[in-house]
Structure 1
Amino acid sequence: MCYGAAHHGSIKVTRNQTKHIEGETEVHHRPKRGWVWNQFFVLEEHMGPDPQYVGKLHSNSDKGDGSVKYILTGEGAGTIFIIDDTTGDIHSTKSLDREQKTHYVLHAQAIDRRTNKPLEPESEFIIKVQDINDNAPKFTDGPYIVTVPEMSEMGTSVLQVTATDADDPTYGNSARVVYSILQGQPYFSVDPKTGVIRTALHNMDREAREHYSVVIQAKDMAGQVGGLSGSTTVNITLTDVNDNPPRFPQKHYQLYVPESAEVGSAVGKIKANDADTGSNADMKYTIINGDGAGVFSISTDKETREGILSLKKPLNYEKKKSYTLNIEGANTHLDFRFSHLGPFKDVTMLKVIVGDVDEPPLFTMPSYVMEVYENAKIGTPVGAVTAHDPDAANSLVRYFIDHNTEEDRYFTIDASTGTIKTAKIFDREETPWYNITVAASEIDNPELVSHVPVGVRILDVNDNPPELARDYDVVVCENSKPGQVIQTITATDKDNSANGARFHFSLDEGLSLNPNFTLRNNEDNTASILTRRRRYSRTTQDIYYLPVLISDGGVDGRVRTCHAEAFLSSAGLSTGALIAILLCIVILLAIVVLFITLRRGKKEPLIISEEDVRENVVTYDDEGGGEEDTEAFDITALRNPSAAEELKYRRDVRPEVKPLSRHHPSSSLDSIDVQEFLNQRLAEADLDPSVPPYDSLQTYAYEGHRSEAGSISSLDSATTQSDQDYNYLGDWGPEFKKLAELYGEIEPERTT
């Protein structure tokens, strides 16, 4: 049977009984005993002053006499739940929260109070906490921040919000939530069941309004009156798209730029406004036309999105006072979905006014190059610079040279005319080029100064003779053949190629033909020295001097020449050779003194008559027969008195040029030079093939102290029968005669 409210439970207990009848036993079968439970419930959040009745426990064995005792154990027994052990009534002493614990598990027992024996086996039952709508819906993730592109279609999904309710969703409508929009209409809407927020207008414009705050409410009990609710805020921002073209605030602008502005400098700024942001507002500025398109340029500042106007060419107020520019500003990033809103560019006109500025003088040329010949007199004009005042005032200009370097002091300038003149005499070979700086200033405003570089080239004058390229030490072998090249010589000239590049080599025409050597001009700025005869004797002569004339091709009409003395030797002079030369000189001086002494004792004419016969004395290795031994020679050729007396110009004469320093003989030899003089004459007499040997006398002053024959010289073999003057010295006679005449020992006239 049940006790209490319908939601309360009770226990029914059944059991078997046995009766004893006298004479017989009657047995009754008892049914199986057990607990019969109904579901127990207890309302949550009970706030009454009395404990809340939960239900009742009852056993069939309970006759109401108090002999049955009920015991309750399990979760909350004795604290939350109490039981009347006699009646079995259960009460809840505390307010319960279903959201904390939904049910409790307990155990029930029925025992005999007198014997404490169980009347029923222990059984388990559950007390459930019944839900009431005591929890409002909650948005766990709010507030929300979301974006949506501007110009989106109506109904575009923005965000889905979700609210949760802690009440029991299986019992009543306590957890059934419905969504609604409290703030944000008419721009946005929300689905009441799903919580999806959508745009409610078509083509929302960010430039009109960018930020929206939308409040969404969630209400339980299916939105009915009395239901609990919660809300959240959704912050929605419209993102930008390129739906606005750039626009210049004005259609006409004016800019002032002074003519002194430097090329490449920024002279002004211009800006087109764009309602978009970010890359949608990026733009590029361009000068599309106008008469100033070639004078100005424009660039874009990416940070400020301004157009920076710069100067490409210098301005001149006197030539052009204003320029017109048409400037275009266009977006660089386009969205073709909104191309119908274009064009995404704008054009404005900019007028540039050129301001007049007092400018420094302007030279007619950016630089000058002038020329002047070297060795020009001081004060020679070099050239002139010209400058003028570019302003309308056209002030007079004064010139001066900046004396910043030493080179600037080599020139002067006329302050009025700008004529540059020389202040020193120049040598091109020393400095071929000068660089100076000329300045010009206005008389009315001396502080305005301009400068110009001037280069002065020093022109060459053929003022340097050619020279041998080096000191030549030429060696000729004793066994050389005629026509053999023994040396090739070259020359140099300090003048430039126009005045000294072509050289001509020759022998001095004022001298007789050299019998030993000749010179061949190779026509390539070189010359070759060749031998003219066969065999040379070092013992006879070991040094030769060859005067060479070198001329350049001077352009100024003055041919520069150089007398170069070619020195030829078979070997250098040794100490023994110098001693031998000195001994020869001493012997020759002794011969001269002897000759003079003989002439004082007997002054007879050297040549008796035109029919004079001269004896040809030849040396042999054996001893000759004296003066009678003349059969070996035809002496008829010696009967030419004119040939005997002719004083020929010798061809190996030493030139008037100082010899090379390393070949200088001693000072005594230079002063006497008799040996060389005699050797040259002897060599000419021996090698000259043009005339017969009219007289050839080789004398021996001393035969030797061991020779029994003594001397075979014809000087001591004179006879009384001969008319010949044997004091005559053969081919050396004319030279000794000259020496005798020089010292006054004989008369210069010839005696008969």
Structure 2
Amino acid sequence: MGVRLGTMLMDIWTRLMLAWISVLPLVQSITLDPPQSLQEESILTLNGLDGDPGALSRAKRGWVWNQMFVLEEFSGPEPILVGRLHTDLDLANRNVKYILSGEGAGTIFMINDKTGDIHAMKRLDREEKAEYTLTAQAIDRDTDKPLEPPSEFIIKVQDINDNAPEFPDEPYHVTVPEMSSVGTSVMGVTATDADDPVYGNSAKLVYSILEGQPYFSIEPHTGIIRTALPNMDREAREEYLVVIQAKDMGGHMGGLSGTTTVTVTLTDVNDNPPKFTQSLYHLSVLEDMAVGDVTGRVKANDRDLGQNARSLYEIIDGDGMDVFEITTDSQTQEGVITLKKPLDFETKRSYTLKVEAGNAHIDPRFISKGPFKDTAAVKITVEDADEPPVFSSPAYFLEVRESVNVGSVIGQIMARDPDIIVSPVSQVSRVPVAIKVLDVNDNAPELASQTEAYLCENGKSGQVIQTVSATDKDDPKAGQYFFYNLAPEISRNPNFTIKNNADNSVSILARHSGFSRQKQDIYFLPIIISDSGNPPMSSTNTLTIRVCGCSTDGTVQSCNVEAFVLPIGLSMGALIAILACIILLLVIVVLFVTLRRHKNEPLIIKDDEDVRENIIRYDDEGGGEEDTEAFDIATLQNPDGFNGFLPRKDIKPDLQYVPRQSLPPVPNGVDVDEFINVRLHDADIDPTAPPYDSIQIYGYEGRGSTAGSLSSLETTSTDSEQNFDYLKEWGPRFKKLGDMYAVGENDRET
């Protein structure tokens, strides 16, 4: 019915506005004039043109508005008349033309260029555009010359109540503590209205509660929601739905409205004490329960939530306060009773506890309601269990000497069965027994590690050679103490003596200086070491002392006997390295000189070469070539040469040949010429002969030659130059021999 009544009122309002519009042109007729400043009055002062249109002169003034109004949402059958433009120059004898330009000119707003009437051609919405700025001008229709300067004016769209209030932030969820006092602020809601807030009451809103009374109220103009009832209890009701209405037109009849829902949740406060579900709890446990095991649980319920429902449990009385303890399970809020001391059915068979539960967090506002605690009794019955035997001690420590005889009694262990009734079930108990083996002095001391010492040849008399210590496998309680002595047979040793250092070690000292490796390089010093046991044990240990060469600061360099001939400051390894380098250098020099001479000298001396400066020396002059008569050439031959094929050691032939047959031995007294011819023939038919490099060695000189002795010492020539005619006879032969056998560069010397 409210909507129908609002529609009727809207229709009446529209009719009134249409009636106002019909007379609006009479009120809104304006005379065009240039725009005035906004600081001036909101009317236009017009300047008209007198007489000749071309002449500018001052005209009378008129007071007009510079604004026109048009009602929004108007949808009549004809375009609505907005207003009329007029100029004082529009006389009967003037042909005036009105021109309209600006926002919406020609589309939304049309002007009658003769009468100046302005009509709205479309339905307007103030919420889309509230005003339009246009420019009007009057010109002479005949000459198109302006009669007035352009004048700017505004058409405002007049608002109607066509928008209902809205809640842009909905839905709303809010919390408020339970038991809040009346008038406690819950929240504030705000609605918006798209209508014009400065024109009429279309956007004037009033708030009210449609649902949620009598628990909540709302302030009509601010939208603040407050509690309306005291002591709202969360435990009774936790959530409320409140429906809020916002109505425009100041809340009067015919206004538009909008609604929203606010969900109000009461939050918990600690207004309830914990309560045990029972006043007496019965628990039973076996006597063999281990310390720390759970005996049972009790529970005190609290209607509050979270921290407000957390309870603390305590045993405040009873004969089991020292045997049991109680803690709080943070997950279930139960009181967990655990065993603190062992139980014994034979000693005590039941216990009584008084348990208290109280809140951890108490709201001081509700202390007056009474103590936030509750108590309950707990009776615990101990039941008999088949217990294993119990040893008289939780652990046993025994001692035995390492020399004890087999079968000897070390100690005694005792146990008892605590049960009153013997059970056929077998029970086993275990106890740790530690047996310590006591030490007996049955090991002789011996040198710890120093079994060899070094003595410098340049050492002085009384100088400490080595400090030695001893070790003993025995472990006396009082610790070890050793005695050192030289063997009786060398107690008056002329070379060495010992000195006790009072720290279970002795120093070996030299009695004199001038030790020599060449004379004696090793000395053996037997030392008797005795311990302080009962009875004492002793052993003889031999210390080896080596005589070594040392530097001036006493650093040992070499202990070898041969090292005394070496230069001071050089070790054997360094000397060997130096000698190896020298030998290698000499070999390189010899090879270099030999190769160089081979490259410069031909194998065969030619006749035209001057060989007079060649000097041939012999260590033994001998009998010349006649000496060859004294032995057979066969003795100069390689004995293995006739016993088969000798494989070459310089290179390996590409092909393997059958070993050649043994050459017959050269008969005694053969001539060199014949001997060479035989070897040339053998080489020609030998498949293993050169072209690869080879060397042939001959140790036979020959019987003699027509040239006589080659020795320069026996020449009878009175000439200073020697006779070299023998080269004419042997030269071609040596040349042929060289061509056949001296193929390699290194073979020409031979």
TM-score normalised per structure 2: 0.50
Cross-structure match for 1:115: 143
Cross-structure match for 2:24: 6
Amino acid in the other structure paired with 2:172: Y
Task: Give per-residue Cα distances to partners, 1:709-737, cap 9 Å, x unaligned.
Answer: xxxxxxxxxxxxxxxxxxxxxxxxxxxxx
Cross-structure match for 2:257: 229
Give the number of aligned pairs. Answer: 429
Equivalent residue runs for 1:332-347 within 5 Å: 332-347=360-375
CA distance in 2, matches of 1:459, 1:195: 96
Task: Give per-residue Cα distances to partners, 1:252-288, cap 9 Å, x unaligned.
Answer: 2122322222112223222222222222222221111
Task: Give per-residue Cα distances to partners, 1:521-561, cap 9 Å, x unaligned.
Answer: xxxxxxxxxxxxxxxxxxxxx9xxxxxxxxxxxxxxxxxxx
Query: Are 1:372 and 1:456, in contact at CA under 8 Å, matched by a contact in 2?
Result: yes
Q: CA offset at residue 80 of structure 1?
A: 0.6
Cross-structure match for 1:241: 269
Cross-structure match for 2:731: none
Does the alignment pair 1:306 with 2:334? yes
Amino acid in the other structure paired with 1:72: L
CA distance in 2, matches of 1:222, 1:259: 83
Cross-structure match for 1:182: 210
Let me know the Cα RMSD of the aligned residues. Answer: 4.4
Query: Are 2:174 and 2:264, in contact at CA under 8 Å, matched by a contact in 1?
Result: yes
Cross-structure match for 2:302: 274
Q: CA offset at residue 78 of structure 1?
A: 0.5
Query: Are 1:287 and 1:326, in contact at CA under 8 Å, matched by a contact in 2?
Result: yes
CA distance in 2, matches of 1:661, 1:392: 64
Equivalent residue runs for 1:574-613 within 5 Å: none
Cross-structure match for 1:527: none
CA distance in 2, matches of 1:170, 1:458: 110
Does the alignment pair 1:32 with 2:60? yes
Query: Are 1:179 and 1:192, in contact at CA under 8 Å, matched by a contact in 2?
Result: yes
Query: Are 1:61 and 1:119, in contact at CA under 8 Å, matched by a contact in 2?
Result: yes
CA distance in 1, matches of 2:64, 2:476: 142
Query: Are 2:48 and 2:87, in contact at CA under 8 Å, matched by a contact in 1?
Result: no
Cross-structure match for 1:200: 228
Does the alignment pair 1:445 with 2:451? no
Query: Are 1:34 and 1:120, in contact at CA under 8 Å, matched by a contact in 2?
Result: no
Q: CA offset at residue 329 of structure 1?
A: 1.2
Q: Cα gap change, 1:101/1:204 in structure 2, threshold over 3 Å: closer, same or farther?
A: same
Equivalent residue runs for 1:121-520 within 5 Å: 121-368=149-396, 384-394=412-422, 444-446=424-426, 448-454=427-433
CA distance in 1, matches of 2:477, 2:61: 149
Gap runs ≥5 in structure 1:
20-28, 396-443, 469-493, 499-541, 543-659, 663-752
Query: Are 2:161 and 2:195, in contact at CA under 8 Å, matched by a contact in 1?
Result: yes
Task: Give per-residue Cα distances to partners, 1:264-317, cap 9 Å, x unaligned.
Answer: 222322222222222222222111111221111111222332222211112222
Q: Cα gap change, 1:285/1:170 in structure 2, threshold over 3 Å: closer, same or farther?
A: same
Query: Are 1:44 and 1:129, in contact at CA under 8 Å, matched by a contact in 2?
Result: yes
CA distance in 2, matches of 1:18, 1:111: 15
State the identity as a percent. Answer: 60
Q: Cα gap change, 1:15/1:268 in structure 2, threshold over 3 Å: closer, same or farther?
A: closer
Query: Are 1:10 and 1:38, in contact at CA under 8 Å, matched by a contact in 2?
Result: no
Secondary structure class of the residue paired with 1:352: strand
CA distance in 1, matches of 2:296, 2:152: 95
Task: Give per-residue Cα distances to partners, 1:466-507, cap 9 Å, x unaligned.
Answer: x99xxxxxxxxxxxxxxxxxxxxxxxxx99999xxxxxxxxx
Amino acid in the other structure paired with 1:105: T
Query: Are 1:66 and 1:86, in contact at CA under 8 Å, matched by a contact in 2?
Result: no
Q: CA offset at residue 44 of structure 1?
A: 0.7
CA distance in 2, matches of 1:291, 1:264: 19
CA distance in 2, matches of 1:118, 1:192: 58
Q: Cα gap change, 1:262/1:117 in structure 2, threshold over 3 Å: closer, same or farther?
A: same
CA distance in 1, matches of 2:94, 2:431: 138
Query: Are 2:387 and 2:418, in contact at CA under 8 Å, matched by a contact in 1?
Result: yes
Secondary structure class of the residue paired with 2:430: strand
Q: CA offset at residue 385 of structure 1?
A: 4.1
Q: Cα gap change, 1:319/1:65 in structure 2, threshold over 3 Å: closer, same or farther?
A: farther
CA distance in 2, matches of 1:125, 1:35: 14
Does the alignment pair 1:101 with 2:119? no
Query: Are 2:197 and 2:204, in contact at CA under 8 Å, matched by a contact in 1?
Result: yes
Query: Are 1:388 and 1:394, in contact at CA under 8 Å, matched by a contact in 2?
Result: no
Q: CA offset at residue 16 of structure 1?
A: 7.6
TM-score normalised per structure 1: 0.50
Q: Cα gap change, 1:257/1:3 in structure 2, threshold over 3 Å: closer, same or farther?
A: closer
Query: Are 1:70 and 1:111, in contact at CA under 8 Å, matched by a contact in 2?
Result: yes
CA distance in 1, matches of 2:76, 2:92: 30
Cross-structure match for 2:531: none
Task: Give per-residue Cα distances to partners, 1:77-134, cap 9 Å, x unaligned.
Answer: 1111001112222110111111222211222222232232333343222211101011
Q: CA offset at residue 188 of structure 1?
A: 0.9
Task: Give per-residue Cα distances to partners, 1:321-379, cap 9 Å, x unaligned.
Answer: 32222111111222222111231111111222323322212234434567899998876
Cross-structure match for 2:618: none
Query: Are 1:71 and 1:108, in contact at CA under 8 Å, matched by a contact in 2?
Result: yes
Q: Cα gap change, 1:291/1:120 in structure 2, threshold over 3 Å: closer, same or farther?
A: same
Amino acid in the other structure paired with 1:237: T
CA distance in 1, matches of 2:190, 2:284: 64
Amino acid in the other structure paired with 2:28: G
Secondary structure class of the residue paired with 2:307: helix
CA distance in 1, matches of 2:476, 2:100: 138
Query: Are 2:159 and 2:199, in contact at CA under 8 Å, matched by a contact in 1?
Result: yes
CA distance in 2, matches of 1:76, 1:151: 62
Q: Cα gap change, 1:96/1:277 in structure 2, threshold over 3 Å: closer, same or farther?
A: same
Secondary structure class of the residue paired with 1:338: helix
Amino acid in the other structure paired with 1:450: S
CA distance in 2, matches of 1:495, 1:128: 119
Q: Cα gap change, 1:247/1:64 in structure 2, threshold over 3 Å: closer, same or farther?
A: farther
Secondary structure class of the residue paired with 1:270: strand
Amino acid in the other structure paired with 1:6: L
Query: Are 2:325 and 2:338, in contact at CA under 8 Å, matched by a contact in 1?
Result: yes
Q: CA offset at residue 226 of structure 1?
A: 1.7
CA distance in 1, matches of 2:476, 2:64: 142
Q: CA offset at residue 43 of structure 1?
A: 0.5
Q: CA offset at residue 198 of structure 1?
A: 0.7
Gap runs ≥5 in structure 2:
1-19, 32-45, 446-473, 479-491, 493-537, 541-750
